[in-house]
């Protein structure tokens, strides 16, 4: 009973020993060439919509954030916040504060949401204030962007 199983296993492993490398090399040759580096959607949005670019210094790192206002004539203003491609910080949340933040967020700051691509953030149009970028993982304010009152 064992002898027929040995012959079967020997034949299967012989076929696999030849077929697997051939299939692997064939798969590598058949895959598509990587596309050229494409700018992210946020960069395209920023180029078409304009907006205002702010340079934020955080310690030894320096990054830019583009702020684009969506004008819909509502009671609240909507903004698109687009960080530069070199912006690397973990768990960044966006807050709205009527006072400029120092090393920490003021207690009356309102959480707008997590910083993400294509997210619109609503703020009251009554007064000016600051968008505050806060890293939860680092427990520190990365920077603030002043926004004037709506006219």
pLDDT tens readout for residues 97-112:
888 888 788 888 888 8
Residue numbers of the domain that contains 25: 1-31
User: pLDDT per residue over 92-150, tens digit each?
Assistant: 888 888 888 887 888 888 888 888 777 788 887 667 788 888 888 888 888 888 887 66
Same domain, 128 and 80: yes
Number of domains within the chain: 2
Same domain, 111 and 78: yes
CATH (domain of 112): 2.60.40
In a domain, 101, yes or no: yes
Q: In which band, very low, low, confident or very high, does the pLDDT at 17 lie, cut at 50, 70 and 90?
A: very high
> Does the predicted model carry a pTM greater than 0.75?
no
How many angstroms separate the CA atoms of 122 and 113, rounded?
A: 10
């Amino acid at each position: 009973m064992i002898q027929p199983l040995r012959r079967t296993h020997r034949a299967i492993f012989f076929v696999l020993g030849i077929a697997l490398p051939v299939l692997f090399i064939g798969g590598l040759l058949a895959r598509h060439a990587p596309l050229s580096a494409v700018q992210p959607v946020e960069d395209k949005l920023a180029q078409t919509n304009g907006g205002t670019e702010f340079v934020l210094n955080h310690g030894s790192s320096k990054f830019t954030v583009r702020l684009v206002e969506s004008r819909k004539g509502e009671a609240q203003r909507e903004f698109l916040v687009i960080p530069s491609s070199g912006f690397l910080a973990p768990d960044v949340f966006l807050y709205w504060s009527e006072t400029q933040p120092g090393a920490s967020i003021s207690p009356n700051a309102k959480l707008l949401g997590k910083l993400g691509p294509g997210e619109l953030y609503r703020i009251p149009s009554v007064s000016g204030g600051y968008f505050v970028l806060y890293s939860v993982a680092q427990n520190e304010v990365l920077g603030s962007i002043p926004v004037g009152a709506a006219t």
